[in-house]
Structure 1
Amino acid sequence: MRLFSCLHNVFCMTMFAIGLLLMWQLAYGGQLFDRVMEYRAAQQGEDSEDDESSDAVTLPAGARLMRDVPYGKNARQSMDIYLPQQATGAPVIFMVHGGAWRTGDKHAKAVVENKMARWLAKGFIFISVNYRLLPETAPMEQAEDIALALANAQAQAASWGGDPAKFILMGHSAGAHLVSLLAASPDKAYRRGAQPWLGTVALDSAAFDVVEIMSARHARLYDSAFGGDAAHWKEVSPFYALSATAMPMLAVCSTQRSDSCAQAIRFAGRARSLNVQISVLPQELSHRDINQQLGVEGAYTDAVEAFMAGLDDTVRRMLATHAGNPHQA
């Protein structure tokens, strides 16, 4: 009887403990999840850009920088143009920074340094773009800014020695979402005066399907970016914007994030069902390093350049015959 009573007491105590745990989870589990999500969002924001100015970036020999070239009336509507020593009909890499649609800058070293050093040395023109941000400007209008900047850059490209038909769009994080939105439905850019471009490289977006993000538990930064209107979530989702006219795309995703590659793979599946050219490139790199390490000699940069080379013969020849990035990680 004593043994039975002891076992009974142990069982009761165990069940009591489980009950307390369940009550705690119901009461505080959601708050804990929210705190974890906020921490992850803060880390992502920290990783998305660094705050160092590109003033410290060394230009390749003979290269020039045209800083703060305007494409609109707002001070944020400007771009930096990095020109190689000699350019005649040069391809153009058009880079859009990230920062949770609220922060970030075209001057950031993680955005510019390694990409500019590598591709200017190969004879490319490199453009880094600013755009208006939250809370004043919502992501859809931010995409309109990028389209307007693209149209302006293409209109001036010949005067810089560039080819307006040989642009490659590139963006990181929130910037990847914006360029993906334009690539999925190029009419958005054409309406702002842009011409067709060669292709788009999305660097760790994880926001291809905003509906999926907003329908599950998510970091608060998405609420300030996309609001509570489910119809609007579709409008700002590259997944739902996809059309048969979408531009060729490469979706680079970090395997260190739980949502990035899953979204990229699902987006790619829908794109292929529309006969759109797309590849997914998973990388064992952090969100920040997906951005910062592009341009450093190695397998990651080689894989991105393989996609770029497949877009155009001139791009392929220039990638194959010019010097690489002298800066090593």
Structure 2
Amino acid sequence: MEPMRTTPTTAFLRAGLMAALLAALCTPAMAGSLRDRLLQRAQSDMLAGDTAPATIPPGVRVLRDVPYGDDPAQRMDVYLPVQGAAHAPVIFMVHGGAWAYGDKAMRSVVQNKVARWVPRGFVLVSTNYRMLPGTRPIEQARDVARALAAAQGLAAGWGADRDRFILMGHSAGAHLVGLISAEPVLAFDQGALPWLGTVALDSAALNVVAIMQGPHLPLYDAAFGDDPAYWRAASPLQQLATRGAPFLAVCSTRRRESCPQARNFVAEAEGLHMRAQVLGEDLSHRQINEELGTPGDYTTQVEAFMASLDPQVARRLGDR
């Protein structure tokens, strides 16, 4: 029999299961120490294979490390059609990595998205932000907002339209775009303009309060600490109080916590007369990110949401 292939998702789930067993069988001190080592290893496994930069396809040029702040982490990459663009819609991408690692240039973050959408007349911006341990999630969300405001200000020089931005983020990045979508004042206070809509790719942190009140992985403690007031302030569900831009919550049906949180967030949004929907996919956490842009029903459904946001976006998605 062929041995089971270890993926980032299966490695992380295996570590989580082992941690639960250890918590039941060992003393608290022993379990905590072993659990933390296992989870650190699992997080390394999750990142493995993602550090390679994307290959830039023909017809695309890239502006590297465009600054939006003074910190070296406050940089974004901009992918443009070689032939130029006019009033191009912008996909604004935020990478994941447990609020502690990851990079804007990783292949899983941009490769297929750039290859799919830039030749069709889109500009794609992929941003970094300051991370743990020095910068906590709410301030990370402000970094994302600062990058968004800077990109909107520079858009005309790229041949892009500052009024046609679509926010997109994966994992921790999905939490960050979810937070500024639920509480747009976080973005507006940084100078950002309204955007067309948000695509959250498999965030399992739309309800931070519920996560922190139940059994959870240590990475959430590193991000959100032990203050319930901070949990509420960092939680998209608890901060969702007014109607915002349309929201698509993509979730992995292979993860126990992802789709229920997505459904609860969407139900709350719909109660505020905000257009929101859930797209459940039988894909792993990493595949939700990496396979977006490859031909198939998943990409088609995300594009249908994007096309519904604006006629110019719809027209470009219809170009072949």
> In which range does the TM-score fall when normalised by the shorter chain?
0.7 to 0.9
Flag as ranges the 4+ runs of structure 1 deviating above 6 A: 29-38
Q: 1:76 corresponds to which residue?
A: 73
For 2:67, give the aligned amino acid: P
Task: Kindly report the root-mean-square deviation, in angstroms, between the aligned alpha carbons of the 2 structures.
Answer: 2.0
CA distance in 2, matches of 1:244, 1:230: 22
Q: 2:162 corresponds to which residue?
A: 164
For 2:237, give the aligned amino acid: F
CA distance in 1, matches of 2:301, 2:105: 25
Percent identity reads 51
Distance 1:34 1:81, change over 3 A: same
What do the CA deviations read for 1:163-188 (whole angstroms, capped 9, x no partner)?
A: 00000000000000000001111111
Report the count of equivalent residues.
296
Q: 2:53 corresponds to which residue?
A: 53
CA distance in 1, matches of 2:41, 2:244: 32
Query: Helix, strand or coil: the match of 1:207?
Result: coil
Q: CA deviation at 1:60?
A: 2.9
Query: Helix, strand or coil: the match of 1:268?
Result: helix
Q: Which has the larger radius of gyration?
A: 1
Distance 1:43 1:253, change over 3 A: farther
Match runs of 1:1-329 below 5 Å: 28=26, 43=42, 46-47=45-46, 50-54=50-54, 57-61=55-59, 63-84=60-81, 85-321=83-319, 323=320
CA distance in 2, matches of 1:276, 1:201: 14
Contact 1:45 1:99 in 2 (8 A): no
For 1:204, give the aligned amino acid: D
Unpaired runs of 5+ in structure 1?
1-23, 324-329
CA distance in 1, matches of 2:167, 2:43: 22
Q: CA deviation at 1:28?
A: 3.3
Distance 1:42 1:186, change over 3 A: farther
Contact 2:243 2:269 in 1 (8 A): no
CA distance in 1, matches of 2:233, 2:265: 15
What do the CA deviations read for 1:133-189 (whole angstroms, capped 9, x no partner)?
A: 000000000000000000000000001000000000000000000000011111110
Contact 1:48 1:172 in 2 (8 A): no
TM-score, scaled to structure 1:
0.85
What do the CA deviations read for 1:201-227 (whole angstroms, capped 9, x no partner)?
A: 000001000000000010000001000
Contact 2:243 2:273 in 1 (8 A): no
For 1:222, give the aligned amino acid: Y
CA distance in 1, matches of 2:206, 2:43: 17
Query: Helix, strand or coil: the match of 1:134?
Result: coil
CA distance in 2, matches of 1:38, 1:286: 23
What do the CA deviations read for 1:240-297 (whole angstroms, capped 9, x no partner)?
A: 1112232211000001111000110111111111111101000000000000000000
